[in-house]
Amino acid sequence: ARKVLFDTDPGCDDAVMLAAALGHNAIDVVGLTTVCGNSTVENTTRNARAILELGGYDVPVARGCARPLVDELATAEWVHGEGGIRGDMPYPSGDVGDEHAADVIVRQARKHGDDLTIAAVGPLPNLAFALAKEPDLPEIVDRIYVMGGAALSSGNVTPVAEANFHNDPAAASRVVQDAFPRMVGLDVTNDATIPFERIESYAERGGVFETIAEWARYPTDAVDVDETGPSIHDAAVLADIVDPDVLDFEEYYCEIDTTGGPSHGSVVCDQHGVYEEEPNAAVAVDIDVERYREIVDDGLSAYAAH
């Protein structure tokens, strides 16, 4: 199984993704690091622990950044639910340790080396700090995925910017400059939907699946949702870690706009090579939606049966 560390801000799509990752037999989750984003870092950390508790998994959790590097914190409880998540959750008592997420990322990278994949599916200050502490991080680990950006299409929080990058453009810029990420953005994640009928069949299965169904329905009463079903953005990353044929990537030179104007937080993707710069990111451009759904289903079923 592939060793993966998830840097995450659960968050309902994060929750579906994490449950599927914990369950899937091709994935060995070595740790969760948390970050502010969909809610405060107190809430996302509590939610991460609740997702583990609900499935009966024992995985270390480390709390990370409580705010973006430069910008003000903007959370999205109106989409993800009060406290940053929906559904009936068990909240474990106690707390996580004192080691910061950025230190955990560096420590796990050194420990597992090129056996480790890092998957960052929230705003990126933890990863930016980890890169500042250990600039060789991209060479040490196998791959670094980020869910973020809308390199070739329109945004979801502004006409051009996606939420994770818009939340912390400075951090996203650092990561794109230094880490040659696999950038999995709205260009493919908008299509990473779970059909409404399938979500209803989850709900009918009862038990843990009722909670999973509530996570999966998350945006329906907040924003306009694709007629096929809600997009579970973060799970597109998981699916490609399980099966690298799920996403197609093209390498481009990208910059993140940090200038504070109307395109703040957007990806400037040099698709036609006008800057004559070497590529610095692998941009996801296509998704095998059926295979993606199959992987998420397999993982969720195993999580619920655990």
- Would you tell me which residues interact with Ca ion (CB under 5 A)? 9, 11, 14, 121-122, 234
Residues 99-138 that bind ligand BDR (CB under 6 A): 121-122
Q: Which is nearer to Ca ion, 189 or 211 (CB)?
A: 189
Binding span for ligand BDR by CB under 6 A among 20-28, 108-116, 160-168, 190-198 = 160-168
Stretch that binds ligand BDR, among 7-15, 62-70, 279-287, 293-301 (CB under 6 A): 7-15
Question: Rule CB under 6 A: is residue 44 a binding residue for ligand BDR?
Answer: no
In the window 239-278, what residues touch ligand BDR (CB under 6 A)?
A: none
233 catalytic? Reply is yes
Give burial (CB, 10 Å; 0-12/13-18/19+) of 60.
middle
Q: How many CB atoms lie within 10 A of CB 250?
A: 15
Q: Are the CB atoms for 300 and 239 separated by under 8 Å?
A: no
Amino acid at residue number 111: K
First to last CA, the chain: 17
Phi, psi for 146 (deg, rounded to 5)? -130, 135
When CB distances are held under 5 to 8 angstroms depending on the partner's kind, the choice from ligand BDR, Ca ion, none that residue 163 binds is ligand BDR
The reply to whether 162 sits near ligand BDR by the rule CB under 6 A is: yes
Q: Which of 170, 174, 183 is nearest to 130 (CA)?
A: 174
Angle between helices 101-112 and 125-133 (to 10 degrees): 60
Question: Which of the following is catalytic: 24, 100, 233, 306?
Answer: 233
CA atoms within 13 A on the CB side of 248: 5
Please, what is the minimum distance in Å from the beta carbon of residue 286 to ligand BDR? 18
Q: Pick from 4, 5, 6, 14 the residue near ligand BDR by CB under 6 A.
A: 14
Query: Does 182 engage in binding with ligand BDR (CB under 6 A)?
Result: no
Residue type, 227: E
**Distance of alpha carbon 181 from alpha carbon 130, whole angstroms:** 14
Contact flag: residue 164 with ligand BDR (CB under 6 A): yes
Give whichever of 112 and 300 is closer to ligand BDR, judged by the CB atom. 300
Question: Binders of ligand BDR: how many residues, by CB under 6 A?
Answer: 14
Of 232 and 282, the one with the shorter C-beta distance to ligand BDR is 232
**DSSP state, residue 81:** -
Rounded Cα distance between 124 and 120, Å, is 7
Q: How far is the CB of 14 from ligand BDR (least distance, A)?
A: 5
Hey, is 119 helix, strand or coil? strand
CB of 215 to ligand BDR, least distance (A): 11
Tokens 């107190």 -> residue: 42
Binding site for ligand BDR (CB under 6 A): 11, 13-14, 38, 76, 121-122, 147, 156, 162-164, 233-234
Residues with catalytic roles = 233
